[in-house]
């Protein structure tokens, strides 16, 4: 029997003069998990369906991402463009109170090769879904089996309607009315010179009106995991600029693009 002692600690991290109002977007996560006594080694965790390989979880896996973000501030007059490297390593595993095999992921954020922040998050999968905890919010990233057009409530494990995120000091309800669906399956994609032959794309939200733009896309490659992510969470009061691109009329919010640059097992 595996004994694990784990405490959740809510902690907003500010490092090297990174302004607090930008920390959520720069790191994608703001909660650290403190854990001790994890002596288990669950290395051969497998599911019965091969679709779970879109979300591989194994001790020792390392994924490195380039994350570029633009944060809109002061009614859009300030556009803070920031680029970071995020290295994610699966370092430990444990069984939670519901019997799910969770994997601990250490996320290190680098700015020009300088480590500026370390976060700890976790993920698990079972025969029906794959879940990742980001910012103390549990997202159902994938559901199994993978079928084009299939939809699900990926935010069902938290109160999406009342969850508020502060971007550049402004409160935004960014997770309202998200509707996840498999947009494409079995497609090929070339990213940073690497060819991925079996990719599934997930549209998490794609809505807009005269004052709001909500778009979030994730792409997963079989036997690799997440390879690409793009988010546009934007607000504006410039309702007369109907045909103007959101990048020009946004007054608050952010645009984020995340790309896998290396993966090792």
Q: What is the pLDDT of residues 15-73, one digit of tens each?
A: 334 344 444 444 443 333 333 333 343 444 445 468 999 999 999 999 999 999 999 99
For the whole prediction, is pTM greater than 0.75? yes
- For 73-99, what is each residue's pLDDT tens digit? 998 999 999 999 999 999 999 999 999
What average pLDDT does the chain have? 85
Query: Is pLDDT of 256 > 60?
Result: yes
* Confidence grade of residue 190 (pLDDT, cut at 50, 70, 90): very high
Residue 147 pLDDT: 96
Closest CA to 180 of 224, 218, 145, 209: 218
- Average the pLDDT over 193-219 and give the result: 96
pLDDT of residue 49: 64
- What's the rounded Cα separation, in Å, for the pair 86 and 23? 14
* CA–CA distance, 227 with 262 (Å, rounded to integer): 9
Percent of the chain with pLDDT over 90: 75
Per-residue pLDDT, 50: 83
Percent of the chain with pLDDT over 70: 82
Q: What is the pLDDT of residue 226?
A: 98
Confidence band, pLDDT 50/70/90 cuts, at residue 175: very high
Work out the number of other CB atoms within 10 angstroms of the CB of residue 38: 16
Report the C-alpha gap between 209 and 211 in whole angstroms: 6
- The Cα angle at residue 46 between residues 148 and 63, in degrees rounded to 5: 75
145 prior amide bond cis, ω within 30:
yes
Tell me: pLDDT of 8 over 50: no
Domains defined along the chain, listed by start: 5-39+50-264 (2.40.360)
Confidence class for position 222, pLDDT limits 50, 70, 90: very high
User: In sequence order, what DSSP letters do the residues of 181-195 get, joined into one string?
Assistant: EEEEEEEEEEETTEE
* 61, 53 Cβ separation under 8 angstroms: no
Tens digits of residue pLDDT in 127-172: 999 999 998 899 999 999 999 999 999 999 999 999 999 998 889 9
Give the sign of the dihedral formed by CA 165, CA 173, CA 138, CA 47: negative
Chain segment 89-138, per-residue pLDDT in tens: 999 999 999 999 999 999 999 999 999 999 999 999 999 999 999 988 99
pLDDT band at 4 (very low <50, low <70, confident <90, very high): very low
């Amino acid at each position: 029997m595996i004994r694990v002692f784990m405490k959740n600690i809510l902690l907003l991290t500010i490092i090297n003069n990174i302004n607090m109002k930008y920390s959520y977007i720069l790191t994608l996560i703001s909660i650290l998990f403190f854990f001790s006594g994890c002596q288990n080694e669950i290395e051969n965790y497998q599911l019965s369906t091969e679709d779970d390989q879109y979300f591989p979880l194994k001790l020792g896996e390392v994924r490195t991402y380039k994350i570029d973000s633009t944060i809109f501030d002061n009614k859009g007059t300030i556009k803070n463009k920031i680029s970071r490297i995020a290295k994610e390593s699966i370092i430990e595993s444990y069984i939670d109170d519901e019997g799910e095999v969770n994997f601990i992921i250490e996320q290190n954020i680098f700015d020009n090769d300088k480590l500026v922040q370390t976060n700890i998050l976790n993920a698990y999968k079972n025969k029906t879904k794959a879940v990742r905890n980001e910012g103390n919010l549990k997202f159902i990233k994938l559901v199994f089996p993978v079928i084009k057009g299939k939809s699900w409530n990926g935010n069902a494990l938290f109160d999406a309607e009342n969850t508020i995120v502060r971007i550049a000091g402004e409160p935004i309800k960014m997770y309202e009315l998200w509707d996840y669906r498999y947009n494409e399956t079995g497609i090929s994609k070339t990213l940073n010179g690497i060819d991925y032959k079996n990719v599934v794309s997930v549209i998490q939200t794609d809505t807009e009106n005269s004052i709001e733009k909500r778009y979030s896309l994730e792409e997963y490659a079989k036997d690799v995991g997440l390879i690409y992510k793009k988010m546009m969470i934007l607000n504006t009061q410039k309702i007369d600029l109907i045909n103007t691109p959101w990048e020009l009329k946004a007054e608050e919010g952010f645009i984020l693009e995340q790309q896998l640059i290396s993966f090792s097992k």
